[in-house]
Amino acid sequence: MSRYFIFFFVFFSQLIITSPYTLVGRSGHTASYMDNKIYFLGGKTVKHLVGTNDFFYLDVSIPFDLDSTLPIFDLSNDARYIDIHSHGISTICGPNKDMIFLIFGISEESFTYNFIINDQEWDLRSQEPNVRWSSVVCNKNGSYIYVYGSNDVNKYKMTIIDTTHGFTVSSDLNIPNSLATAILLQDGRIAYIGKRIDDLWVNFRNIYIYNTNDGTWRNMSTSGIEPSPRYFHTTVLTQDGLIIIYGGVNNIGPVPDQISVLDTKVDPFTWSIPNIDYAPSSAPFSGHTATLVGNYMIIAFGYYRTATTKSTVLSDQIHMIDVSEKNNYKWVKNFTPLAYPTKSPGAAHAAIIGGTTGGIATVIIIISVSYLLYRRKRTVIYAPQAKHAINC
């Protein structure tokens, strides 16, 4: 009897862990993509202006429609020991690429949380205090993360952390500039997309590239039509080597050129402005996250302006841009995976819990097996002479 109890307990616990999540407007959250899931963490909401420790994911292994119920599941129970926060940074890393590294500061302290998917628990590590970390990148084999930030005016640094053992490999590389968002290029170099002016506005004319193989820097002057200065924007890298800049604000409001593309296959890198249809009125312009999944740039939450009053409010929605056609993008509502991708290294450990379909199948199996066992046991006890009852 006890083994049935344990089995059912584990099963129903899984259902509780993967309960559907009701979206609320938020900004300053993080988004990390791994094994067909986009994991969202933290961010501030109307009710929690300092931040939250909300933890949930969007399942992108199946098709969905933005106008219908999204396949979003709550994991907040697994993050209840994380401090509430907003404007953190995160990346997927580790030898098996199955760990979420989350870094944020509280007051003057900085912390790194890493979540191992197969263990479903967080590990807390302290970072250097009084540092405002602004970007984190994982190298190609998952052995190191490169964390960039600043602690004093005109003093910037990069810290390299071993993801296996958790210790700092090197730090305080005396970076001369306040650099913007970081992207890991396909050749393993890290590109910092622009330089911050007064630690805020980003000027995109120069790209600063760090070579993870030999530890050298390159200052590249780009060509083409560079984006206007901004902050609170996002960047993603496409499979064909294009970096897409989306959103951002200036001292007036949303920037007029909401989307730009940087071609990294040429030297020097070249800026261009793609064709794109009008954005939905609810599309965010700052405080959002952008994640590339196949040919879709998935934009989550952030701030948008209402069509009637033009007031700025928090979005509780997901938006998507189809970037499959070069220089001709379009806003879409239907998501279709290219295919059901082959599991990535460590993916056998990366799936947190099965979805609803798996749950239903498990229920059917449980009921069927239990019924057969019950019938078999009943035959032995109540009908010892009914030799053919087992075939009924």
State which H helix or E strand residue 170 sits in.
Answer: strand 168-170
- In contact, 286 and 298? CB cutoff 8 Å: no
Enter the tokens of residue 77. Answer: 């129970």
Whole-angstrom Cα distance, residue 140 to residue 28?
26
Model pTM score: 0.81
Q: Residue with structure tokens 């952008």?
A: 290
Least confident of 12-26, 163-177, 314-328, 376-390: 376-390
Q: Residue 173 carries which side chain, given as an amino acid letter?
A: L
**Residue 164, helix vs strand vs coil:** coil
Give residue 117's pLDDT.
Answer: 67
Cα-based angle 338, 68, 237 (whole degrees, multiple of 5): 40
Other Cβ atoms within 10 Å of 78 Cβ, number: 15
Please spell the DSSP secondary structure of 349-368, one letter per residue: HH--S--HHHHHHHHHHHHH
Give residue 279's pLDDT.
Answer: 95
- Which tens digits make up the pLDDT trace of 208-233? 999 988 888 999 999 999 999 999 99
Give residue 381's pLDDT.
Answer: 29
Residue 310 binned pLDDT confidence (cut-offs 50, 70, 90)? confident
Residues in the chain: 392
- Which tens digits make up the pLDDT trace of 60-89? 999 999 999 999 999 988 888 888 999 999
Give residue 167's pLDDT.
Answer: 75
- Which tens digits make up the pLDDT trace of 40-50? 999 999 999 99
Phi, psi of 14 (to 5 degrees): -65, -40
Give residue 13's pLDDT.
Answer: 34
- Which tens digits make up the pLDDT trace of 22-40? 899 999 999 999 999 999 9
- Which tens digits make up the pLDDT trace of 243-274? 999 999 999 999 999 999 999 999 999 999 99
Mean pLDDT of 290-315: 95
Enter the tokens of residue 4. Answer: 């049935």
State which H helix or E strand residue 235 sits in.
Answer: strand 234-237
Which residues contact residue 49 at a Cβ distance below 8 angstroms, ignoring those fewer than 6 apart? none
Other Cβ atoms within 10 Å of 54 Cβ, number: 22
Give residue 153's pLDDT.
Answer: 61
Least confident of 81-85, 198-202, 386-390: 386-390
Mean pLDDT of 111-138: 79
- Which tens digits make up the pLDDT trace of 331-375? 999 999 987 544 444 433 333 333 434 444 444 444 444 444 444
Residue 169 binned pLDDT confidence (cut-offs 50, 70, 90)? confident
